[in-house]
Amino acid sequence: MTEPLSPLGRSFGLSVQPMVHVAEMPAAVSFYESLGGRLIYGSRDGDWALMGFGGTFVSLLARPPGDGDLSRVELQFMSTAPLEAIEAHLNAVAPSAIDRGVADEAFGRMLKLTTPDGLLIKILELERDLIE
């Protein structure tokens, strides 16, 4: 089965992964394990972990977001397409959505976007060898 195309005929191979900011990683991992999740990547004692639930995932980050509100959940998208292709597409159709262009992060590359409602969205290309 092929991935459906957007109305503009583009497919960027995006999958959604919520990121939850947590105060204490060991307690958070234990809580999500009690719900049936399993630790996929990262560490029970580190600052980042990826929890699996069937075919879906939730990222846990042991740092508050910029505004310090630990109750906030962020949306991340994982991309199979090069981030430059997504950025070029958005520059053509919605340039104001780009909060920050493609940049290197400790765990891979990221493109930051802002929705019309002001929600920050991150699109990631993960470097698997850094998190496995």
User: Residues 99-126: pLDDT tens digits?
Assistant: 988 988 766 799 998 887 777 888 988 6
Which spans in 1-78 are helix H? Answer: 25-34
Confidence band for 4, pLDDT divided at 50, 70 and 90: very low
pLDDT at position 13: 80
| For residue 132, pLDDT beyond 70 | no
| Rounded CA separation 129/84 (Å) | 21
| Rounded CA separation 76/84 (Å) | 17
Q: What class is the 14-131 domain?
A: alpha beta
CB 47 within 8 Å of CB 25? yes
pLDDT at position 15: 83
- Sign of the C-alpha dihedral computed for residues 9, 2, 130 and 36 taken in this order: positive
Phi-psi region of 68 (alpha: psi -120 to 50; beta: other; left: phi over 0): left
Q: Are strands 14-21 and 73-79 parallel, antiparallel or unpaired?
A: antiparallel
Q: How many residues does the chain have?
A: 132
User: Residues 88-104: pLDDT tens digits?
Assistant: 999 998 899 999 889 88
pLDDT at position 5: 47
pLDDT at position 127: 59
Strand partners, 76: 17, 122
User: Residues 5-56: pLDDT tens digits?
Assistant: 454 556 788 888 888 888 899 999 999 998 899 999 998 999 999 999 988 8
Burial 92-113 (b: 16+ CB within 10 A, else e): eeeeeebeeebeeeebbbbbeb
pLDDT at position 56: 87
In the chain, where are the structural domains located? 14-131
